[in-house]
Structure 1
């Protein structure tokens, strides 16, 4: 708890009044895990009557149970060096902070629904993997791993990512937060592969308002944190070209997602977290409704 106190407080604030939003995590009925008692109603199966309770209470009660959902929730965090990009408008906020917070909220929703959930973190050319499980302890494990994530290096190679896709043998929902500045990339190929395997893949592209508007300070020097190279200076004359190239890149990301039937949302890290979270979950719900 000491490791996750700050993040835990943030998600409690964000989730106040927020609905479940992912899917029905458990099904009522005859199952293996006891849920609650309810009064007998005509039509109920007699084999579900609790006869011991009848002897004590002299009334018929039905044992309700819950069956575990077969769908696991997977959180996928891009913690490469480019995710350290800070907001130019809000102090103390960067892409990684925002991604960790949104994924922590999804984890809290999954835990509240009784779903199994796990975490995949891509950072420093490697993959850190937290197996899926249920319950409050699993939430604390995931929050601790999210808090530990640091923006380092580049995405792992395609072979490394492919070797970690063993977790996706059962039906799963993938929530992936990244800036997707690299596309196509080993990550995009892995996600498209997961979609072809019939998993529900939901992407959140994170940008800063300065990136969207090209409102970087004129004459400032920048270095790509994931590639070797010198400094790059953005002059006033470069802004139009930057906007055009940026628009073309993210249009290509959106088109690839449509072609692969992947839910794709875009947000600026200056937006309220709850607004982004609602929009992300709503986009996935809209696709499900349209497919019926």
Structure 2
């Protein structure tokens, strides 16, 4: 909880938070492919915590007295696409960690995936789903592009509902080549045009991985009964969360996510549900490990 509290204060400083989370992460989003034919030296870059020591150029260290890592061009790359649900329900705050929301946690974890893709030399792009739009930052490689992605994530605020099917078809134009799709949301709206688009991408042989973010209060039904609540995506009524409501809420929640999990299993889409109050590094490790067990990647 202490780690989550500390990082909750840095949700607006993604570069700092990403370094913190990745400092102890020893692996990437897929198996490295530096060995074998077609590997040619590309450039040097400064060492960052988590880089493999075997990639450090020791001769350059002796001359420059600084750690540098050799980057290589590969025959093929995995294009990583980060999909962010920025609908208004993602503005749900933690009841125990000040300043922490589902959106803030999603931004941080997707930023970490982008940093891992950059570390591995892969192209990565961003799709922000909010309201009537699905804004796309095209896939590219390199540290400068990582800073562009971090800046865009840093500026995302929650609002509106999810885009419709037409907007998503126009945005998800990267379907011509199989890649990695990491989507973070709360998946309260399921089925939806977004869930259908992600399942369609999986059927097109993309490696689709979903992260379901929720608060501890949502999971346990631990909402305060005193204040009145309004559904941010359906502002047509006000209600209070009394004892009589809690039992029905938990039943409906279990049924909803039972359907979500069943559809993900049926379509071979790994889904990890995690409370945002957990340490981000632990969530990221479990998310990557869950997907890697399915794919057999190291």
Q: Same fold by TM-score, threshold 0.5 exceeded?
A: yes
Deviation at 1:115, TM superposition (A): 0.6
* 1:159 maps to which of 163, 166, 177: 166
1:12 to 13, 19, 23: 19
Partner in structure 2 of residue 27 of structure 1: 34
1:185 aligned residue (172, 188, 192): 192
Match of 1:243 among 250, 256, 262: 250
In 2: Cα distance, 1:238 partner to 1:20 partner: 44
Where does residue 268 of structure 1 map in the other structure? Answer: 275
- In 2, Cα distance between equivalents of 1:22 and 1:32: 19
Partner of 2:266 in structure 1? Answer: 259
SS of 1:87's partner is: coil
Give matches, 1:167-246, under 5 Å: 167-246=174-253
Deviation at 1:34, TM superposition (A): 2.1
Residue 65 of structure 1 deviates from its aligned partner by: 5.7
In structure 1, how many angstroms separate the alpha carbons of the residues matched to 2:258 and 2:287? 18
Alignment partners' CA distance in 2, 1:205 and 1:16: 24
- Cα RMSD after superposing both structures: 1.9
**Equivalent in 131, 139, 147 of residue 140 of structure 1:** 147
CA distance in 1, matches of 2:129, 2:14: 20
Contact 1:11 1:105 in 2 (8 A): yes
Deviates more, 1:158-167 or 1:256-265: 158-167
Deviations 1:163-197 (A, max 9, x none): 22211211110000000000000010000100110
What's 1:66 paired with? 73
How much has 1:220 moved relative to structure 2? 2.4
CA distance in 1, matches of 2:174, 2:30: 20
- Paired with 1:242 and 1:147, the residues of 2 have a C-alpha distance of 33
Q: Is the 8 A contact 2:135 2:171 kept in 1?
A: no
Aligned to 2:122: 115
**TM-score if structure 2 supplies the norm length?**
0.83
* Alignment correspondent of 1:47: none
Q: Aligned partners of 2:192, 2:214: CA distance in 1, in Å?
A: 18
Counterpart CA distance in 2 for 1:65 and 1:194 is 29
Alpha-carbon distance in 2 for matches of 1:71, 1:218: 48
SS in 2 for 1:210: helix
Confirm or deny that 1:101 pairs with 2:123: no
| Structure 2 CA distance for aligned equivalents of residues 279 and 32 of structure 1 | 30
Please give the alpha-carbon distance, in whole angstroms, between the structure 1 residues aligned to 2:26 and 2:39. 26
**Equivalent pair of 2:30/2:292 in contact (CA under 8 Å):** no
CA spacing shift, 1:12–1:68, aligned 2, 3 Å = farther
Matched, 1:124 2:124: no
Indicate conservation of the 8 Å contact 2:40/2:72, yes or no: yes
The runs of 5 or more residues in structure 2 that have no matched partner are 1-10, 44-70
Instruction: Show the counterpart of 1:54.
Output: none
The offset of 1:35, in angstroms, is 5.0
Query: Is residue 76–residue 121 contact of structure 1 (8 Å, CA) maintained in 2?
Result: yes
SS at match of 1:28: coil
Larger CA deviation: 124-133 vs 228-237: 228-237
Name the larger-Rg structure.
Answer: 1
